[in-house]
Structure 1
Amino acid sequence: MMNQAIDATLFKIEMAVTNPIKNNSLKTLLGEFGYDEESLNHGLALLEDAKSKHLKQKKEYGEQYDATDKMTQKMAETNKILMKDVKISRILLQKERGAWEALDIKGRRKKTYYGWIEQSTVFYKNAIADEKILSQLAKGGITKEKLEQRLAMVEEVASLLAIQLKEKGEAQEATQIRDKSFEVLMDWYSDFIQIARVALEDNPQMLEIMGIVQPSE
């Protein structure tokens, strides 16, 4: 169920549960069918638990989205620089088959997060470690210092990805916890609302106080 639908359902349940607690006549009528104040307070406790876990789920997904945005933004920024370095390397090392292999600059670039990080790390680490490659790249303005700075950018992307995956896991866990709480609440509410319809079938105005609209016959 989407969050907006859950918001609406929680609001509906809150009206159905809290209004009888505040209305003595309604509470008395429902009490005759097993839903006294204690039972209503139990339902209210289930409702508050579900609301709390729903808010927690929203918070966790907000943190996941923030982490994803930071990671993808840094990756895009780094990739723009990386691709210039790769293009220059292909030009300056066009006759160096071994260098192409070492830097992994053949063919299309990897697009997945893990693939991009692995391939980019190989490029910068192997370039830094090879004096011959360094000498050639320096002709295009790609110095060892620049390579080290860009390697640090790739490593930052990797760190941000780790954070994003952590937040994603926490968001998924929060969803599972929320859904279990919501399921318990809905089981209670389903019985409650069915019995309320029977208990108050001769008092449609009472049903309206609970936010229940009787279907027209």
Structure 2
Amino acid sequence: MSEGQSLETRSVQRNRQLHVVVPCPRCGSSKTRVSHRATLADQLWSLVYKRPYRCQVCQARFHAASRGGRRKRKILRQRLLRVSLVFLAVMGLGLGGVLLVFSLKPQPPYSVQSRLDHAQTALDTTLTNAQIRSALAGYGYTPERLSQGKALYEAALAAQKRQQTAYADQLAITERLNQVWDAADDSYQRLVKIARVAFKNNAGLGQQLALDSPRQEDIALWLKQVQRFYATALQSPQVLQGLSIYSITPAKVQAAQGQLRAVEEMVSTLQTQKNRVREVNELRDRALKVLDDWIEDFTAIAEVALEGQPQLLNSLELKKGVP
């Protein structure tokens, strides 16, 4: 492995050895590693060939496909299919039962954008169609009440845009953190290699500098490890003298140490932004809940008001848009 190879590249290569590059679903970083199976949930996930991962940036723990998981899941589906066919045959359902079971596909969850789109369709169609407005007016849905629904939609849409902007900012901050972390780690790894040469015959200094300790992958533990190295080096004349043989001056050590401050600042910035994302998520969800409740009532009344007029009712797309 070349000396200048970045931590990002090394992390990606480690994951590629498992046939998968796994980004963190929370912060978007590719600095993730396989975690040990430690809980009952981990064991249950393993039944569908998913294993736990840990993000080194935000510490999120999540599950993703393990090595060979796609092929194994295909085999599992084939086995389940055979078992299902046997079961249906035994129950006497025959081919019709088989086709019925496999035609029942689970419906995907309604996304935020889907809920907004269908609410917009229902409101805009109602506001622009005099026949629908007239039918609904007889059940209390006056222009003023419809305007209230439109205002709820606009509020939810604005909240969704704020959430998207905040999350995009979080991804940008994560990327910047990855960059400064890579740069700081490259400097640290370079000095560690030089120190190992300089103090290969001095076990005491090697132990003080933790030269043989495994590199910490968690960013908080990594910071402590690197801070210890720099603090020990700068406080020890013997270490500085040994490094000077290889043209490593105290100023160079201090410059490398200064890169840690950039990492610490970005870690703090990322945490602040994560809190911001959490806040706007909650505000967005509350705005959507109010809109969903309004659309739910509107749907029930529209089905009554437009009974016998399926074309008008279908134009509102209410059945599709209400969770």
Superposition TM-score, scaled by structure 2 size: 0.62
Q: 2:219 aligns with which of 103, 113, 120?
A: 113
Bigger drift between 120-129 and 99-108 goes to 99-108
Question: Relative to structure 1, is the Cα distance of residues 192 and 213 closer, same or farther in structure 2, using a 3 angstrom cutoff?
Answer: closer
Q: 2:139: which partner in 1?
A: 33
Paired amino acid for 1:11: D
**Structure 2 unmatched runs, 5+:** 1-107
Paired amino acid for 1:62: A
1:212 CA displacement: 4.2
Q: 2:267: which partner in 1?
A: 161
In the alignment, the residues of structure 1 paired with residue 138 and residue 155 of structure 2 have an alpha-carbon distance, to the nearest angstrom, of 27
In the alignment, the residues of structure 2 paired with residue 105 and residue 34 of structure 1 have an alpha-carbon distance, to the nearest angstrom, of 76
Q: 2:297 aligns with which of 191, 207, 213?
A: 191
In the alignment, the residues of structure 1 paired with residue 202 and residue 305 of structure 2 have an alpha-carbon distance, to the nearest angstrom, of 86
Bigger drift between 55-64 and 168-177 goes to 168-177
Q: 1:125: which partner in 2?
A: 231
Bigger drift between 16-25 and 6-15 goes to 16-25
Q: Are 1:17 and 1:43, in contact at CA under 8 Å, matched by a contact in 2?
A: yes
Alignment of 1:12 with 2:115, yes or no, is: no
In the alignment, the residues of structure 2 paired with residue 114 and residue 105 of structure 1 have an alpha-carbon distance, to the nearest angstrom, of 18
In the alignment, the residues of structure 2 paired with residue 77 and residue 31 of structure 1 have an alpha-carbon distance, to the nearest angstrom, of 65
Q: How does 1:65-80 map to 2 (within 5 A)?
A: 65-80=171-186
Alignment of 1:135 with 2:241, yes or no, is: yes
1:213 CA displacement: 6.5
In the alignment, the residues of structure 2 paired with residue 128 and residue 31 of structure 1 have an alpha-carbon distance, to the nearest angstrom, of 79
Look up the SS of the partner of 1:7 in the other structure: helix
Question: Relative to structure 1, is the Cα distance of residues 118 and 110 closer, same or farther in structure 2, using a 3 angstrom cutoff?
Answer: same
Higher strand share: 2
In the alignment, the residues of structure 2 paired with residue 29 and residue 21 of structure 1 have an alpha-carbon distance, to the nearest angstrom, of 12
Q: Are 1:207 and 1:213, in contact at CA under 8 Å, matched by a contact in 2?
A: no
1:97 CA displacement: 3.7
Q: Percent identity?
A: 26
1:150 CA displacement: 0.5
In the alignment, the residues of structure 2 paired with residue 36 and residue 182 of structure 1 have an alpha-carbon distance, to the nearest angstrom, of 22
In the alignment, the residues of structure 1 paired with residue 198 and residue 295 of structure 2 have an alpha-carbon distance, to the nearest angstrom, of 71
Q: 1:210: which partner in 2?
A: 316
1:95 CA displacement: 3.4
Q: 1:151: which partner in 2?
A: 257
1:138 CA displacement: 1.3
Paired amino acid for 2:201: K
Bigger drift between 64-73 and 103-112 goes to 103-112
Alignment of 1:89 with 2:192, yes or no, is: no
Paired amino acid for 1:96: N
Q: What RMSD, in angstroms, separates the aligned Cα atoms of the two structures?
A: 2.0
1:163 CA displacement: 0.8
Q: Whose relative contact order is higher, 1 or 2, with alpha carbons under 8 Å and at least 6 apart? A: 1
Deviations 1:187-212 (A, max 9, x none): 11112112212211211222233234
Look up the SS of the partner of 2:200 in the other structure: coil
